[in-house]
Amino acid sequence: MSLFKTLEKQIVLVTGGFQGIGRQVVTTFQNEQAIVIVADLTYKNDELKQIDNQEFQIHLDVSDESSVENLTNQLKIHDLIPNVLVNVAGISTMDYLIESKTSDFDKTLAVNTRGTYLITKYIVQLMVAAKRPGKVVLIASQAGKNGYRAMSAYVASKHAVLGLTKTLAIEVAKNQINVNAVCPGIIETSMKHRERKDGAKIRGLTPDDIEKEDNSQVPLGRTGTPQDVANVVLFLASPLSDYMTGQGINVTGGMTMN
């Protein structure tokens, strides 16, 4: 049964929606009867492809302005101006800062920071032009509030996402567009599993050591699931959050509390 009837038939754009947190966000909105546009680097089609009554798919490289422009044009052509934007697309690289590759730093910021800037800029332009009130939810991280060893590029990129969130929230409040960020903690995804392997190698530990360390840091006693994050995204997209904007909401099991 739907918890948020007001989301029925609303148009929701989810970037990075092929797997992990992004896919769970897609499924969660579809359960509320929303129409979801899934934009992801994995897809090959540059035109919107309708999968069923609730899902469209399209290729998107958030770091490539021409790709973002193409998505924008496709939304115009098909009259699918989003009521909700959820930007999940992101990557991570790992190494100690003084040993890291500049190319890795540039790549991480290109996707996580420039990509967030581009997709938000172009989609909110559509919302404003259509005089459509709406919700923007950006996926940041607790790494946007703290520092973590061997993750300087990721940490820098997610701090920037929170800065974009706060600034845009002020700028489009007059348009009745709410802009908030979700800051996940340790979430069990393929990216997190790869990070454990990379981190273990860098620190001379095993992935099991890292997993035990992860769990020991969470007051609620477990790491998170993509559904934990998707639930908060859904809340921020719903009328229940109408008086919230410019916030970075932690979903960390208590690991980050500021």
pLDDT in tens, 53-89: 999 999 999 999 999 999 999 999 999 999 999 999 9
**What does pTM read for this prediction?**
0.96
The tokens describing 133, both together, are 């009130």
Comparing C-alpha atoms, which of 159, 185, 164, 181 is closest to residue 245? Answer: 181
The CATH homologous superfamily of the domain defined by 5-186+226-250 = NAD(P)-binding Rossmann-like Domain (3.40.50.720)
User: Do residues 136 and 179 touch, judged by C-beta distance below 8 A?
Assistant: yes
Quick one: pLDDT at residue 5?
72
Q: Predicted confidence band at 1 (pLDDT cuts at 50, 70, 90)? A: very low
| Domain boundaries defined on the chain | 5-186+226-250, 188-223
Residues 74 and 47 sit within 8 Å (Cβ to Cβ): yes
Output the pLDDT for position 3. Answer: 60
**Using CB atoms within 10 A of its CB, is residue 144 exposed (0-12), middle (13-18) or buried (19+)?**
buried
Asked if pLDDT for residue 202 goes beyond 90, the answer is yes
pLDDT attached to residue 6: 82
Residues 151-163 pLDDT 10s: 999 999 999 999 9
As annotated, the active-site residues are 154
Q: Is the pLDDT of residue 212 over 50?
A: yes
In tens, the pLDDT along 16-27 reads 999 999 999 999
